[in-house]
Structure 1
Amino acid sequence: DKLVSGMVANGYEQAFAERTFSQLEGFGSYGFPESHAASFALIAYASSWLKCHHPDVFCAALLNAQPMGFYAPAQIVRDARDHGVEIRPVCVNASRWDCTLEPAHDESRFAVRLGLRMVKGIANCHVATLIAARANHPFTSVDDLWRRAGIPTAALVQMAEADAFLPSLKLARRDALWAIKALRDEALPLFAAVANRSDQPVSELQEPVVALKPLTGGGEVVEDYTHLGLSLRSHPVAYLRDELRHQKIIPCDQLMSARDGKFLETAGIVLVRQRPGSAKGVMFITIEDETGIANLVIWPNLYEKQRRIILSSGMIAVYGQVQREGEVVHLIAHRLADMSAALASIGGREAVFPISRGHGDGAKSGGGSDPRETLGRAPRDIFVPDRHIDGIKVKTRDFR
């Protein structure tokens, strides 16, 4: 009555007003319920407020809720650091299972300590045993941790590969792995008996000190991504910047500040691929380098021409035209190139770079009406079957 009488009072015909109400009534039986809209608005507002005022808490909460959401942990951590949050590495003496908050130099916020849950393959039960054994008495060496915690050496290897011995024990990744090689799952009876009668740990073996060749900076980043899914050292693309600059490929931040209509070329790791059903075949890709992110628009004809590169590349270079609408900037792609080989080269290996993809990665999980997009395997297995399986793989979040 309120709608119809109000429309009539404003000059609309009675029949038109009743027909309008009938259409709204029909939509109301299956459309968005008001309660759903209200609850979603509240969640969106609360999340935005938390990210604005407490980005440290927001970052830790998102990492502890994985797997979830649109972005992978590497992007969550990068965004938090861009907003001034200090991120501290995984540590055998400081990390718990979940990511935690620690006092920071800036008293207005906390630092986020990455939890051992970030270490790929490690079991929760082994971490719980380690934390209980650690209590208020930090571990002093690999041998001390192994003897007191009593967890399998395989778990120690997983933590060493994630560089968890470096922050407190000052033991680099290779040195920690070398020390673990001398251990086994059960102590030798004689040494175990001596250790039980002494406050000081007794080494299982007395080996000469070996100076191992350190990994290159790029190699460290490769190992970080392989075993943690992210790196606090440097962005992978930073190691390729000189080469990209020589090819006149600009960073993403320069793209985002370029004038409307300008043609240029940029490159980055593929984070997200989306091809929503309502977009009439248009694909949207988000890429990232050490300076930030850039958003690409791929028209259907280009998608068909370069489909293999679009769906299988861990890193791409794109030449196109800038489209600017206020603060919203896109690059309309005209030409794409696969740069996965260059990305793999930063660690000195001929293998794909292991970048974590999100759960929305259409190139990983498939989706859409195109039967070619129902992918039961990772893109590497479909398009490039001869690549090594021990390398780095970029996991993007794709919606198609």
Structure 2
Amino acid sequence: MRRVVSLWLPHWPVDRIRRRHGEPSRDEPLVTVQTVGSVALTPMTEGREVVEDYRSKGLTLRQHPLAFLQAELRQRRIRSCADLHRVRDGQRVKVAGLVLVRQKPGSAKGVMFMTIEDETDVANIIVWPSLFEKQRRLILSSGMMAIRGRYQREGGVTHLIAEHLIDLSDLLRSVGDRDDPFSMRHGRGDEAKSGTRDRLREGRKETSNAPPTEMPEQRVEAPAIQVATRDFR
């Protein structure tokens, strides 16, 4: 239940004149209280909460965006970045992730180095000049991409030599409509076990004499995650 307090100021100049002529004052009450019913709102999905975190802070303490996309990535035979540690040298694999860093040093003779990230680890990508010229627009604009290439390990240094890149921005844009990637309802550091979102999901309502006001359900397209990629060129 919610109370709305309204305030009216008296018409002081007019009432002063009325009192001089013996007329009664017409001041309205200074404060009136109106009681309205509670409003039932549809809770945001887990994915939408992640999207809003990225919009407001540029990061999230909730699930990683790619955690919501694992089913689609597995169907495309895309492996996680952590799997690269178990790949043999020279093996061809395909990984995907958010683009964290793009750098093209002047001393690298046109070679671009990228760092991508999924919910498991990061991966270093090398793009040769010939591939960069073929897929320049995708490389410079995509916030999430899949890379098919040959894995290379030299000593303690590992990287993926890119052979083809795929823009996954449309898939990333769907995160806002996703929910519960791992069904981790409790145990999160940023929400109590019986927090507001859980009460809404379970249909609990606060005790109130006034019936809740039903809001018309509207389909609002979830905004896309804006990845803060660091570019050094």
TM-score, normalised with respect to structure 2: 0.66
State how far apart, in whole Å, the 2-side matches of 1:240 and 1:343 are: 8
Who is 1:252 aligned against?
A: 81
1:45-90 Cα shifts (integer Å, max 9, x gaps):
xxxxxxxxxxxxxxxxxxxxxxxxxxxxxxxxxxxxxxxxxxxxxx
Q: Tell me, in whole angstroms, the C-alpha distance in 2 between the residues paired with 1:217 and 1:298.
A: 34
**Given that residues 318 and 333 in structure 1 are in contact (C-alpha distance below 8 angstroms), is that contact kept between their aligned partners in structure 2?**
yes
* CA–CA distance in structure 2, aligned partners of residues 264 and 342 of structure 1: 20
1:326 deviates by: 2.3
| Greater fraction strand | 2
Q: Which residue of 2 aligns with 1:361?
A: none
In structure 1, what is the equivalent of residue 135 of structure 2? 306
Q: Shift in Å at residue 203 of structure 1?
A: 11
Distance 1:272 1:203, change over 3 A: farther
1:391 is displaced (CA, Å) by 3.6
Select which of 213, 226, 231 maps to 1:393: 226
Determine the C-alpha separation between the residues in 2 that align with 1:216 and 1:391.
14
Which of 155, 161, 165 is matched with 1:326 structurally? 155
Residue identity (%): 56
Aligned to 1:296: 125
- The normalised TM-score by structure 1 is 0.39
Is residue 252–residue 288 contact of structure 1 (8 Å, CA) maintained in 2? yes
Structure with greater helix percent: 1
Distance in 2 between residues matched to 1:318 and 1:294, nearest whole Å: 10
Map of 1:268 onto structure 2:
97
Q: Residues 270, 204 of structure 1: CA spacing in aligned structure 2 closer, same or farther, 3 A cutoff?
A: farther
Deviations 1:249-302 (A, max 9, x none): 000010233211010000000000000000000000000000010000000000
Q: Secondary structure at the match of 2:170?
A: helix
Q: Show structure 2 runs of 5+ residues with no match.
A: 9-30, 179-220
Cα deviation, 1:93-123, whole Å, max 9, x if unaligned, reads xxxxxxxxxxxxxxxxxxxxxxxxxxxxxxx
Aligned to 2:176: 347
Q: Distance in 1 between matches of 2:34 and 2:155?
A: 66
SS of residue matched to 2:55: helix
In the aligned structure 1, how far is the partner of 2:32 from the partner of 2:162? 60
Residues 259 and 209 (structure 1 numbering): CA distance in 2 closer, same or farther, change over 3 Å? same
CA contact (8 A) 2:99 2:117 kept: yes
Letter paired with 2:63: S
SS in structure 1 of the partner of residue 77 of structure 2? coil
Give the letter for the 1:395 counterpart: A
State the superposition RMSD in angstroms. 2.7
Q: Which of the pair has the greater relative contact order for Cα pairs under 8 Å at 6+ separation?
A: 2
Quote the Cα distance in structure 1 between the aligned partners of 2:170 and 2:122: 21
Aligned-residue offset at 1:324? 0.4
Q: Aligned with 1:249: secondary structure? A: coil
Instruction: Give the letter for the 1:247 counterpart.
Output: R
Unaligned runs of 5+ in 1: 1-178, 191-201, 350-387
What is the aligned partner in structure 2 of residue 368 from structure 1?
none
Deviates more, 1:219-228 or 1:338-347: 219-228
In 2, distance between residues paired with 1:346 and 1:203? 45
**Count of aligned positions:** 168
Alignment of 1:166-245 (within 5 A): 188-189=6-7, 206-245=35-74
The structure with the larger Rg is 2
The aligned counterpart of 2:144 is 315
Say if 1:256 and 1:294, in contact at 8 Å, map to a contact too.
no
2:174 and 2:224 in contact (8 A); partners too: no
Q: Deviations over 1:5-45 (max 9, x none)?
A: xxxxxxxxxxxxxxxxxxxxxxxxxxxxxxxxxxxxxxxxx
